[in-house]
Amino acid sequence: MRTFDFKTEYPKLLQPDIVAMLTAIHEQKGERSVQPESEAVEQLLEIAMIQSTEASNRIEGIITTDDRLKKLVQQKTMPKTRSEREIAGYRDVLTTIHEKYKYIPPRPSMILQLHRDLYKFSGKSIGGSFKAADNVISEELPDGTCRVRFVPLPAWETPQAMDDLCTAFDSAIKDPECDPLLLIPMFILDFLCIHPFADGNGRMSRLLTLLLLYRAGYTVGKYISLEKLIADSKETYYEALAESSQDWHEGTNNYAPFVRYLLGIIVAAYRAFDDRLKLLKNSGNSKSARIRELIRAHIGTITKSEIMAQCPDISQVTVQRALAELLERGEIIKIGGGRYTSYTWNREAEK
């Protein structure tokens, strides 16, 4: 059976570029002085909740309309479809992690409970149980055929492997010489290679990433959606995962590619956090002012859909109204038409 030895693998990751990312994250974390009760931060929390729920499910092909998604996340409606039931489950597990991460140690029993809640609206019996049959990780090629990317541990080895993984991680995380930012990607990579569930492994891996980061003191994922950053770089994510999982069964795999990828996501989240907070503060939190400030600070052109992606709490009607007002005042320039319409800040008018 595959063994897990974080402390042996850890020194191999202390490479110059990885250490540089660690330093950047430590510095960014140290500079954070956000007051949780501030209105700007509350808006970031709501935006990130919507984006995280949408993005993590979209990666797995689980989707609904933007309007339905917002209502589901805000608990203003009940799920109607299979996809919406799974989205509602993700919403609730994400909320649990946001609010109670201090009391959720990464143990098999806790992971099983989170998985159970992920499927509590679905009616499926798989929630809260490790896989009962062997599974494979495959992808569908453009010609419609499937290719096996990885063969995880067999079902009979899974319970013991999860117990061993959590025990090894717990031992390593208590070692003051080990930086949690390196241990967490290693844990997530191993979790994905075990692939302990019949369904929901990808979503659980992203939820566990947040849980472990929060417990280590890195709570930026509450305010900036790590899931969206992953969804927006999905191809790179899969490439790093494939590279780091090679020779995993033999215990000779290289964790560095996946560690680099996840650290890069965290660095990007902290930078986005600063940008979003400045945007909210500079605009006085008004939705129209936020749209104005977003376009003004954006280099090049931006589409209505891109504006809505960055401001998921603002309705399409409000975005359209704000764009019309900015156009009428001559503050922005409209480029193209129809589905190809984009906007840019009228910098000539500032002179």
pLDDT band at 32 (very low <50, low <70, confident <90, very high): low
* Of 59, 15, 75, residue with least CA distance to 257: 15
pLDDT attached to residue 41: 80
Task: Give residue-wise pLDDT tens across range 329-339.
Answer: 999 999 999 88
pLDDT attached to residue 277: 78
Cα-to-chain-centroid distance, residue 50:
11
Taking the C-alpha atoms of residue 95 and residue 140, their distance in angstroms, rounded to an integer, is 32
**What b/e readout covers 232-256, taking b as 16+ CB neighbours within 10 angstroms?**
ebeeebeebbebbbeebeeeebbbb
Q: Domain spanning 286-350 has what CATH number?
A: 1.10.10.10
Task: Give residue-wise pLDDT tens across range 51-85.
Answer: 999 999 999 999 999 889 989 999 999 999 999 99
When pLDDT is averaged across residues 292-311 and rounded to a whole number, the result is 89
Query: What predicted TM-score, i.e. pTM, was given to this entire model?
Result: 0.88
Q: In percent, how much of the chain has pLDDT > 90? A: 76
Residues forming CATH 1.10.3290.10 domain(s) in the chain: 6-279
The tokens for 138 are 């495959």
Residues forming CATH 1.10.10.10 domain(s) in the chain: 286-350
* Of 31, 25, 36, residue with least CA distance to 269: 25
Task: Give residue-wise pLDDT tens across range 249-300.
Answer: 999 999 999 999 999 999 999 998 888 877 777 666 688 988 998 999 888 9
CATH, domain 6-279, list 1.10.3720.10, 1.10.3290.10, 3.40.50.300, 3.40.190.170: 1.10.3290.10
pLDDT attached to residue 17: 97
pLDDT attached to residue 1: 80
Contact by Cβ (8 Å): 213, 39:
no
